[in-house]
Amino acid sequence: MPEPALIDPRLPVDTRNPDYAGTKMGYWPSYASIPPDCRAAYLHWLLDGRRAPGAYIGYVFLYFYGLERRLLVDSQQSPAARAEHPVLVREVERLLRIYGSNGSFSGYASSLLRFLSLDGGHRRYLSAPPQQQEGWELPFELRLGLGQLAADGRPVPAGWALAWIRQHPAAWLRTPAARCPDEFDELFTRRYRERFGDGMMLERGGPLLPAEYRPASPGITSRDRPAGLRVPDAGNAEAPLGELREVASAVCTELDAYSRYLGRHPDAAGTAGALALLPAGLERPASAASQALAAWARSRLDHEDQATVPAADLLAHWSAASAGGGSPKAEAELLARALERSGVGMEPDVRFGGQAPAAGTRVVLFRRAAEITAVPGAGYAAAATLIELSAAVALADGRLADAERTVIAQRVMSRPGLGEDERRRLHAHFTRVIVDPPAPAALRKHVTLLPADLRQEAGDLLLAVALADGSIDRAEVTRVNRYFDALGLDRPGLASGPQAAGNGGLTPVRTAGAPSPGYAIPRPPQQDKPVSAGVALDPEVIKAKLAETEQAASILAGIFTGEDTSSFTALPATAAPGSPSPQAGGLLPPALDAAHRSFLARLAERPSWRRSEVASIAAGLGLMPDGALEVVNEAAFELAGDPATEGSDPIEVNTDVAKEILR
């Protein structure tokens, strides 16, 4: 049959009454068979640029028939027709944009473009992947690009992998991918590259892409059509799709907290609370209040490594920079994470056992190291416990002497296995403990959680601190004895007064053999005695000792994380073998003198006191407040097993325990 789109100039054209509506057009139009008034309307449409949106679709199909023949038939024999290929493809795409609302034309035009894209000379993956999903099907162009990558043995670029998992109906993406699309796309791209480098490789085998096209033109027969090319249908391969789902699921897990926060606070993007929940490395524009919080924290540090600030000031900046609404602990964790993103740490930190900052307390800000340790290791937990114990002994007399500070710094801050960031946090923890010591009950729990091979080290440290300043206060002796009992160690038999310190603050050591009532202090080494040059250090022994220390320290992580401690070996309720019992050897619970009884009786009048009030009561009785509190608590532990007072400011009073002691 003659070509339907062929314009024969010998045929009549009725230009007086053009049939623009196509009322006389048949279902399979042909220029030769349509009436003269339809030819007039068709030719006018062609001359007008083939762009009138309301044109009868039959005229569009008649023109489309000619494009099909030129692209599918003529190009097989004519170099000139092959050269026109790009121009003709763009023309089909243009028509599709104008007349694509017609389902029939859209189907034919789209199928023709897909078929033509299988031409071996065009590599679809060299350009950006399609971003529009086609109903419940993976877009053909996406399948084509993936198939060509498989056929050519090329890795799948990250952008194509993202488009693949985004548009595949079986991707099963979770809520964060929809609620946080930009963050998901960025993080997926990063994780994909971390896992696959340049990209995953696809198998060349498997089913092929459908590569046949049934032309709209009745003038093109099956023998005129070109054969389809062999391109794998890799887009539906289950194995690589499963790997992409694993990456996407992991990314959604990383974004879960951020997504839930935005779900509760839809307008919170850019707030300090939202930014704090972003996975590390993801950056988003911060609100003005968030920037102000970070700038304020950095300005407090100025050029120093740490600074102590009122918690109220910090909380005021946080309130303006976050959406709020969470529990105090949850808000405190967000605050710590927000500061962390600005290179600033804080103590106390609820993530590591600290209390949420509250008005009336103080917070220690510190400058984080270049490489931040997001979660301090077990070695840090051990060192922090030793800090608390040694600080409690040093502060028993109401002051921290320089010599005591030096001993703590040398014996604790320089412990092996600590990173630079952990050391900075440890220094901040030390500063905070001095300002706001932990409650006696909390500290007693920390003591009982120390593993056996760290208890002796803790005891030696406590003695070194007590002896450091050349004088031992009665309150220091009381605290040392209490913690030695809790550690299961023999009491050192210290006596208060300058004579008990002896030998310039050298660390006491236990004597060998049977338990003795005290500790011997060795003589200082003679300075003129030559040091032996034949001493060699065994690196394997050192390595083993470090491993033992780390293993022991790992147990202490539960102190700060709140983990279950049921696996710990509990210390016996009674004293360690060989140590004197509370009822033996003249070590009965100390009776309170008149001043301390009056002090405790005054405190028992109500359950809570401001620290300034306690200081005033102690001063009126001629007592140091910290020392007086220590003495009454020691008596309470001995008689009732619980402290009489807890806290720093306010100071809480266990009135039942106090009344039991006063009976």
For 166-216, the pLDDT digits (tens) are: 999 888 899 999 999 999 999 999 999 999 999 999 988 778 877 667 889
**pLDDT at site 496:** 62
Higher-pLDDT residue of 575, 393: 393
Give backbone dihedrals phi and psi of 249, rounded to 5 degrees, phi first.
-65, -40
- 24 and 38 in contact (C-beta within 8 Å)? yes
> Angle CA(531)–CA(534)–CA(535) in degrees, nearest 5?
80
Q: Using CA atoms, how far apart are residues 638 and 661, in angstroms rounded to an integer? A: 10
- 390 and 465 in contact (C-beta within 8 Å)? yes
Banded model confidence at residue 220, pLDDT cuts 50, 70, 90: confident
Q: Using CA atoms, how far apart are residues 429 and 444, in angstroms rounded to an integer? A: 18
Banded model confidence at residue 544, pLDDT cuts 50, 70, 90: low
Backbone φ/ψ region at 4: left (φ over 0), alpha (ψ -120 to 50), beta: alpha
Average pLDDT value for the chain: 82
Q: Using CA atoms, how far apart are residues 585 and 567, in angstroms rounded to an integer? A: 34
Q: Using CA atoms, how far apart are residues 309 and 625, in angstroms rounded to an integer? A: 24
Q: Give pLDDT tens digits for 264-295.
A: 999 999 999 999 999 988 999 999 999 999 99
Which domains occur in the chain, in start order? 265-280+288-368 (no CATH), 370-511+550-564 (1.10.3680.10), 594-662 (1.10.10)
Give backbone dihedrals phi and psi of 591, rounded to 5 degrees, phi first.
-80, 145
Q: Give pLDDT tens digits for 609-659.
A: 999 999 999 999 988 888 888 888 878 877 766 788 887 778 888 887 888
Banded model confidence at residue 258, pLDDT cuts 50, 70, 90: very high
The string of DSSP codes covering 561-609 is: H----TTS-PPPSSPPTTSPPTTSTT-PPPPP-HHHHHHHHHHTTSSEE
DSSP state of 155: P
Q: Give pLDDT tens digits for 293-302.
A: 999 999 999 8
Is the pLDDT at 50 greater than 90, yes or no?
yes
Query: pTM of this prediction?
Result: 0.62
**pLDDT at site 579:** 36
**Angle 440-448/625-640 helices, nearest 10 degrees?**
60
**pLDDT at site 511:** 32
